[in-house]
Structure 1
Amino acid sequence: MKRNGVLNSHISQVLSQLGHTDSIAIADCGLPIPRNVERIDLVLELGKPSFIDTLKVVLSDMKVEAAVIAEEMQDHNPAMYEEMRSIFGDSLQVVPHSELKRKTTDSHAIIRTGEATPFANIILYSGVIF
């Protein structure tokens, strides 16, 4: 049994297979997930697990080079936006929600959380550890 890091076997497998600039997404429970992208569904009930809790666990086990969120988060979920700015700083990119949804089609997987706040979605691009 794994001692630390991501214990979810599906997430752990996806993270271990990522190369430099590959991406995964973490989504609220409403984001449409393209049929060609692996869905890792964590939803237990509305709000659980939360987007931020899931993000923090993934970040503990993944080297992230850049992150992308929807610009609509700024107006419709300002507390979450500020949290994303504090976590990612200058590596955070902001694009229209329609573009974020389009970019998810290139993700290796989308982790669906129980989050039920507007625009709580992010794409994480893998960095390199050397």
Structure 2
Amino acid sequence: MKKHGILNSDIARVLATLGHTDCIVIGDCGLPIPDHVERIDLALRIGTPSFFDVLDEVLKDMQVERAVFATEVLDRNEAVMARATAMAGNGIGIDYVSHDELKRLSHDARVVIRTGEATPYANVVLYAGVIF
């Protein structure tokens, strides 16, 4: 049995197989997931697990060079905007695109991790970096 890190076997598997610039999406419970993209559904009920709970654990385990958020967070979700700013302060490149464009980007994701989050625009595309 794993002792540390992400215990969810599907998430651990995906993170272990990412290469440089591969991407994953962490989304709220309403984000549409393309049929051809693997879905890891963690949603138990509204709010559980939260977007931030999942994002924090993934960031502990994944080398991220860039994150993409919807421009709508800038005036519609102050908490997500603050987290994006904090991530930038930790050396992660941050980009903003329209929510429609973020949904288009999800078509190229290796996986979409669905949370129970129910606040507007609590979604992010994370691009893998390298550890060397």
Q: Compute the displacement of 1:88 (Å).
A: 2.9
Aligned equivalents of 1:40, 1:114: Cα separation in 2: 12
Secondary structure of the residue aligned to 1:60 is helix
Q: Aligned AA for 2:108?
A: D
Q: Which structure 2 segments of 5+ residues have no match?
A: none
The answer as to 2:38 corresponding to 1:35 is no
Q: CA RMSD in A?
A: 0.9
Aligned equivalents of 1:72, 1:33: Cα separation in 2: 19
Aligned equivalents of 1:17, 1:124: Cα separation in 2: 14
Number of equivalences: 130
1:101 to 93, 100, 103: 103
Q: Compute the displacement of 1:78 (Å).
A: 1.5
Q: Compute the displacement of 1:85 (Å).
A: 1.1
Q: Aligned AA for 1:125?
A: Y
- TM-score normalised by the chain length of structure 2: 0.96
1:126 to 115, 125, 128: 128
Identity %: 56
Q: Compute the displacement of 1:79 (Å).
A: 2.2
| Equivalent residue number for residue 82 of structure 1 | 82
- TM-score normalised by the chain length of structure 1: 0.97
Q: Compute the displacement of 1:23 (Å).
A: 0.3
Q: Which structure 1 segments of 5+ residues have no match?
A: none
